[in-house]
Chain A
Amino acid sequence: MAGADVDVGTELRLGLPGGGAEAAKAGKRGYEDTIDLKLTLPTGGMQEDSAGKPEPAADKAKRPAEAAAADPEKPPAPKAQAVGWPPVRSYRRNAMTVQSVKIKKEEETEKQQPAGAAAGANGSNFVKVSMDGAPYLRKVDLKMYNTYKDLSIALQKMFSTFTATGNEGKMVEAVNGSDVVTTYEDKDGDWMLVGDVPWEMFVASCKRLRIMKGSEAIGLAPRAKDKYKNKS
Chain B
Amino acid sequence: HCSPSARPRSSSRAMSEEDEDQAGAPPKRPRAASPPPPPPPPPPDQVLDNVLETVLQFLRAPGDRGAASLVCRSWHRAESATRASVAVRNILAASPARAARRFPNAHHILLKGRPRFADFNLLPPGWAASAFRPWAAALAAAAFPALRSLSLKRITVTDDDLDLLARSLPPSFRELSLLLCDGFSSRGLASLASHCRGLRVLDVVDCELNEEEDDEVSDWVAAFPRGHTDLESLSFECFTPQVPFAALEALVARSPRLRRLRVNQHVSLGQLRRLMALTPRLTHLGTGSFRPGDGAEDEGLDFGQMLTAFAAAGRANSLVSLSGFRDLAPEYLPTIATVAANLTSMDLSYAPVNPDQVLLFIGQCRSLETLWVLDSVRDEGLQAVAMCCKKLQVLRVLPLDAHEDADELVSEVGLTAISEGCRDLRSILYFCQRMTNAAVISMSHNCPELKVFRLCIMGRHRPDHVTGEPMDEGFGAIVRNCSKLTRLSTSGHLTDRAFEYIGNYGSSLRTLSVAFAGDSDLALQHILQGCSKLEKLEIRDCPFGDAGLLSGMHHFYNMRFVWMSGCSLTLQGCQEVARQLPRMVVELINSQPEIEKTDGVDILYMYRSLEGPREDVPPFVKIL
Question: A-side interface residues toward B, CB under 8 Å?
Answer: 44, 46, 49-57, 60-61, 78-79, 81-93, 95-96, 99-100, 103, 117, 119-120, 123, 128, 135-137, 139, 161, 164-169, 171, 173-175
Contact = CB atoms under 8 A, between A and B. Distances in A.
A100 B400 contact: yes
A16 B509 CA distance: 40
A128 B214 CA distance: 10
A54 B400 CA distance: 26
A142 B566 CA distance: 37
A57 B124 contact: no
A135 B125 contact: yes
A57 B518 contact: no
A52 B543 contact: yes
B352 A166 contact: no
Contacts of A100: 352, 400-401
Nearest to A87: B120
B106 interface: no
A55 B208 CA distance: 35
A60 B124 CA distance: 26
Which among A55, A103, A120, A165 has the greatest number of chain B C-beta atoms within 10 A? A165
A13 to B, nearest CB: 19
A83 B121 CA distance: 7
Given A50-B568, A60-B460, A92-B402, 20 more contacts: A44-B592, A49-B541, A52-B566, A53-B543, A54-B493, A55-B460, A55-B461, A78-B405, A86-B399, A86-B431, A89-B119, A91-B238, A92-B349, A93-B402, A95-B350, A96-B350, A99-B352, A120-B291, A165-B124, A165-B591
A44 B592 CA distance: 10
A81 B208 contact: no
Contacts, number: 151
Given A54-B461, A57-B404, A95-B326, A168 B125 contact: yes
B403 A81 contact: yes
Contacts of A165: 121-122, 124, 591-592
B215 to A, nearest CB: 13
A169 B400 contact: no
A137 B211 CA distance: 6
B456 interface: yes
Interface string B256-292: 0000000000000000000000000000000000010
A227 to B, nearest CB: 26
Nearest to A103: B352
Given A57-B404, A83-B121, A50 B566 contact: yes
A110 to B, nearest CB: 11
Nearest to B354: A103
Contacts of A52: 516-518, 541-543, 566-567
Interface in B556-614: 566-568, 590-595
Contact of A49 (B119, B349, B566): B566
B17 interface: no
A172 B459 CA distance: 30
A88 B402 contact: yes
B125 A85 contact: no
Contact of B543 (A51, A91, A167, A168): A51
Contacts of A95: 326, 350
B58 interface: no
For the complex of A and B, 4 pairs with smallest distance between CB atoms: A84-B120, A166-B124, A88-B402, A137-B211
Contact of B403 (A86, A89, A90, A171): A86
A86 B489 CA distance: 12
A128 B122 CA distance: 25
B106 to A, nearest CB: 30
Nearest to B542: A52
Contacts of A137: 211
A39 to B, nearest CB: 17
B340 interface: no
Nearest to B326: A95
Interface string B545-557: 0000000000000
Interface in B492-519: 493, 515-518
Contact of B456 (A55, A83, A86): A86
B398 interface: yes
A85 B542 CA distance: 14
A165 B594 CA distance: 9
A123 B541 contact: no
A162 B558 CA distance: 35
Contact of A85 (B374, B460, B543): B460
B604 to A, nearest CB: 13
Given A54-B493, A164-B592, A90 B566 contact: no
Interface string B349-371: 11010000000000000000000
B293 to A, nearest CB: 10
B620 interface: yes
A80 to B, nearest CB: 9
B420 interface: no
Contacts of B459: 57
Contacts of B619: 169
Contact of A167 (B125, B326, B352): B125
B458 A86 contact: yes
B160 to A, nearest CB: 18
B497 to A, nearest CB: 13
B462 interface: yes
B125 A166 contact: yes
B329 interface: yes
A92 B493 CA distance: 26
B515 A85 contact: yes
A85 B457 CA distance: 11
Given A49-B516, A84-B117, A166-B124, A96 B400 contact: yes
A169 B593 contact: yes
29 contacts: A46-B566, A50-B541, A50-B566, A50-B567, A51-B543, A52-B517, A52-B567, A78-B405, A85-B515, A85-B516, A86-B431, A87-B120, A89-B119, A89-B120, A91-B208, A95-B326, A100-B401, A117-B331, A123-B294, A128-B211, A139-B240, A161-B121, A166-B125, A166-B594, A168-B126, A168-B618, A171-B594, A174-B594, A175-B595
A57 B211 contact: no
Nearest to B402: A88
Contact of A88 (B352, B399, B461): B399
B206 interface: yes
A165 B518 CA distance: 25
A91 B206 contact: yes
Contacts of B398: 88, 92
A120 B293 CA distance: 11
Contacts of A46: 541, 566, 591
B210 interface: yes
Contacts of B404: 57, 60, 79, 81, 85-86
Nearest to B491: A86
Contact of B402 (A79, A96, A117, A175): A96
Given A57-B460, A120-B291, A84 B431 contact: no
